[in-house]
Chain A
Amino acid sequence: MASHVRGLPLVAQAEGVAAGQWKSRDLVEAYLDRIARLDKRIGAFLLVDVEGARRKADIIDKRIAAGESLGPLAGVPVGLKDIFVTKGIETTAGSKILKGFVPPYESTATARLEAAGAVSLGKLNLDEFAMGSSNENSAYHPVRNPWDLERVPGGSSGGSAAAVAASLCAGTLGTDTGGSIRQPASLCGVVGVKPTYGRVSRYGVIAFASSLDHPGPFGRTVEDAAALLEVIAGHDPMDSTSIPQPAGRYRQASRAGLSGMRLGVPKEYFQAGMDAEVEAAVRAALDELGRLGARLVPVSLPHTKYAIATYYLICTAEASSNLARYDGVRYGHRTAEASSLEELYGKTRGEGFGAESKRRIVLGTYVLRAGYYEAYYGKALRVRRLIADDFVAAFQQCDALVTPTSPTPAFKLGERASDPLQMYLADIYTVAPPLAGVPALSQCCGFTKSGLPIGLQTIGPALGEEAVFRVAGAYEAATDWHRRLPEDPA
């Protein structure tokens, strides 16, 4: 069994369990075995819930043996970015300030996964509070890219992407604020989906920037990601920004083909600064989509050049207030000695937060301080509207947009760590969709000569996940990049 789960799609595992071909417990043991052997080198997990996974798998197996019909993900082992709160299981957001925090409640997305029969193997590594593009900002340990252990997996959902790439889970959940699902999916050669804002509930997802945070799935295949999204999407009264609509039929869309679709190619996404191998692979993918029956349309998103500045103004402003609650009073880290309230706050937060969190709190507090609101935050909100309008205009001419996900393949650990600006600029292709709230997906569209995955991004109109899945499913069906697997590390 253990060798079988390597590269085995989630959908196939669910079907196997439902058909009585495999036991959930066998799948769980196979993954636990791989995690025990391989994750020392990769570092995808922050917490492996061995006993919990075994217990839940056994329950699923008993119920199947009793002839009960279970949810669509019955028995499938999954992993959760450690930013989803899980009742009774330590949740840290990759930060020392939440070390030892055991939530008293469960996030909506993970509760829905469990209700569908999925079995959680544990909590996955991330950049602290989802702030980062390399997973080097985890307060615990970095994650390494399964395709090259010297390289980063991307971030902030680096553990979620690496775990799928290395077959340590059948599928995973992550969150995307400025690219935190799509960029690591691109760098690890897996499928990652950032749905429409409000499509998946944020209840129980530790907030980084509330107007930009999008929970979403990772899968080995487009259909795997679609199967996960079908389960976690849909209205949740616990999140006031949740869209009051049921989940769509994404698996069906991923098999529907793309004939007749008009695919926009935004010129602003094909400019200087892109790695030559990335550009070649993405252009080849565009040709392939054309051969499959799509009509390629040149379009323009004229405000793209303001997206990074706008994104970093808004996300740091929102982060500074979202992170204000970590004061050591109710939960998480509290400094050992403090003789005044100010000292309690200063030392607790000084000890608890890492450098990137502090940097963003300072930036956010700066842009919001009295008298500067209009110059920075107010202006950023107005530019955000223009960026969203760009997408609305583009979707008058096409059904979906196709772009690269990341301007470069995976870079080396430490390579950009000393230059935060360089790190921020690498988000160039991923920050605009969350600003506009539109859905986007990244999938593998080739490899560099040195064997690093390259990502293709498909962006749809608001609530247009089906269009995105049609494009991605058709492309995947016509190519076999997704079948390539990284070597297991020795």
Chain B
Amino acid sequence: MEFEAVIGLEIHVELNCPTKMFCDCPNRYGDEPNANTCPTCLWFPGAAPRLSEVALEKAALLCLGLGAELQPTSVFDQKVYYYPDLPKGFQLSQAHLPLSRGGGIEIADETGKPKRLRIHHIHMEEDVAKLVHEMEGRVPISLVDFNRAGAPLVEIVTEPDFRSPHHAMEFLKALRTQVRYVGSSECSMENGTMRVDANISVRPRGTSQMNTKVEVKNMNSVRHVGDAIAYEFARQRAAVEAGEAVVLHTRLWDPDKKATLPMRAKFEGPCVPDPSVPVIALSREWIEAMRSRLPEMPAARAERFVAQHGLSADEATFLSADPDVARYFEALVGEGIAPRMALHWLGTQLLPAVKERGQELAATKVPAPRLAVLLKLLARDEINANVARKVLGAMFDSDDAPEAIVEAGGYRQVSDAKELDLLIDKVMVEKKLTAADLQGGQGKAMGFLIGQVMQASGGKANPKKIRELLAKKLGTA
């Protein structure tokens, strides 16, 4: 019998708000443990939650960006369980009436066909504290850092529409792009701003039954999600084929063993509306105001790039996948750089250089107007591409204008015919080349000669000009 996987995802996304969800403490990582706490996020007796307006707006934008429908009424519930990472014995989460319902993402499946993966709902909730387990001498101790407690999250719960690791990975990549577009989160699994749990069950292909599912946690990259799903599908299929029952439980992905391992069942306590956070009532006007704040989303932007700049669909999709890249590209074009040149230099030179230096594109030392100056020198043949690459490297270490770097380095391109003629003659003599050599050999010697002339000029010769002069010399012009 052939089996298929039925997969749904639960995705926690940490919102990039300046403060926590229910108090004014900074929502920031890397600070001294418990520095960012107050009576409210430590839930001291008498503390009262105040829902952050910014968190609500960022969550709402995220929902709208995913095509979800904001609900006119949503409510925070208390999810009761006891654990030291949860300061008040319950987590504030929207269990019954979520912020939005519906929405989804269209991906390309394994065969390139479009497949829509639906979102069931998106709700807001607060993050919990971080536990650190250490040894104090020979005694194991547990420490709690409440800096993260109360950080604003949304949880995106999908429909069980996924059938393969590919579906899940493509969905997560597209989700990251869209959430980054609306500016609600960095959405990175590597730094924990996106956390993914997968619910997986198996069934005979072609049937519609929903069998007992297993939840898998602890994947910290999109690739791990794919690996974990593939492993878990194979594990369950083998179990079913061996006549064993799949039991409802939670497993952890172990990236070293490349396997999922069972984890202890969690106590699920009661869940009731919280009386201290007022009902969230969103008016039609408020929702429309949010919608008007949505940026152009990646699919629409890619389409526009194709139409407006004559790029291919793949090129446009590459540029649109990251809002910062798209913005940078448009800024270059806005400075008068030809779209194809902008695409080429951004993709093959600037992005690798920025990444290599550990910078953020949005805050790089070489913003679009500065790169545009350099590219204009190149476009006007004042420098050649080799030099442009060299100058770009220098621009990361210097605040000088590109022209100044070109002048200081004596990089200006040599296009002067007399000067180049002399160089050509010199090389031909040195390398004992004759016009006949150049005319035969399918231009092999020609390429060699151009390279040698470039070298002799210290990389500054204008290759186009050399070619012209040679053609003249050989009478082929």
Contacts and interface: CB of A to CB of B under 8 A. Distances in A.
Interface of A: 84-85, 91, 93, 98, 101, 103-105, 107, 202-207, 209-211, 237-241, 317-318, 320-321, 323-325, 327, 329-331, 341, 345, 365, 368-370, 373, 377
Contacts of A205: 46
B44 A104 contact: yes
- Of listed A91, A98, A107, A207, residue having the most chain B CB within 10 A: A207
Contact of B272 (A101, A341, A368): A368
B93 to A, nearest CB: 13
A331 B88 CA distance: 12
Given A85-B44, A239-B48, A327 B82 contact: yes
B42 interface: yes
Contacts of B274: 210
A240 B46 contact: no
Interface residues of B, number: 31
A237 B40 CA distance: 13
B87 interface: yes
A239 B51 CA distance: 10
Contact of A321 (B44, B48, B89): B89
A246 B43 CA distance: 28
Contact of A103 (B45, B89, B268, B277): B45
14 contacts: A98-B45, A207-B45, A210-B274, A211-B275, A237-B50, A240-B51, A241-B48, A318-B272, A321-B272, A323-B89, A331-B44, A345-B82, A365-B269, A370-B270
B255 interface: no
Contacts of B183: none
Main secondary structure of the interface of A (DSSP, over half): loop
A18 B42 CA distance: 41
A49 B402 CA distance: 72
B451 interface: no
A173 to B, nearest CB: 13
B171 to A, nearest CB: 31
Nearest to B49: A240
Contacts of B423: none
A342 to B, nearest CB: 9
A28 B163 CA distance: 76
Given A327-B89, A373-B270, A210 B276 contact: yes
A62 to B, nearest CB: 31
Contacts of B275: 209-211, 241, 318
B12 to A, nearest CB: 22
Contacts of A101: 45
Listed residue (B42, B44, B50, B277) with the most chain A CB atoms within 10 angstroms of its CB = B44
B90 interface: yes
B310 interface: no
A98 B47 CA distance: 15
A203 B278 contact: no
Nearest to B89: A324
Interface string B254-278: 0000000000000011111011111
B297 interface: no
A104 B277 CA distance: 23
B352 interface: no
Contacts of A210: 274-276
Given A203-B48, A345-B82, A325 B272 contact: no
B84 interface: yes
B46 A103 contact: yes
A325 B48 contact: no
Given A321-B90, A325-B87, A238 B144 contact: no
B184 interface: no
B87 A206 contact: no
Contacts of A204: 46
B42, B82, B274 interface centre (most CB from chain A within 10 Å): B82
A324 B82 contact: yes
B124 to A, nearest CB: 15
B44 A241 contact: no
Contacts of A93: 45
Contacts of A209: 275
Contacts of B144: 329
B45 A240 contact: no
B384 interface: no
Nearest to A203: B48
Nearest to B276: A210
B88 A324 contact: yes
B270 A368 contact: yes
A240 B50 contact: yes
B87 A321 contact: no
Contacts of A107: 46
A237 B43 CA distance: 17
Contacts of B48: 202-203, 238-241
A209 B272 CA distance: 13
A438 B348 CA distance: 69
Nearest to A104: B39
Contacts of A377: 272
B43 to A, nearest CB: 5
A324 B90 contact: yes
A327 B44 CA distance: 12
B234 interface: no
Most chain A beta-carbon neighbours within 10 Å: one of B46, B144, B268: B46
Contacts of B385: none
A373 B268 CA distance: 14
A437 to B, nearest CB: 11
Contacts of A370: 268, 270
Contacts of A85: 44-46
B270 A240 contact: no
A321 B271 CA distance: 9
A241 B48 CA distance: 9
B78 interface: yes
A91 B45 contact: yes
B80 interface: yes
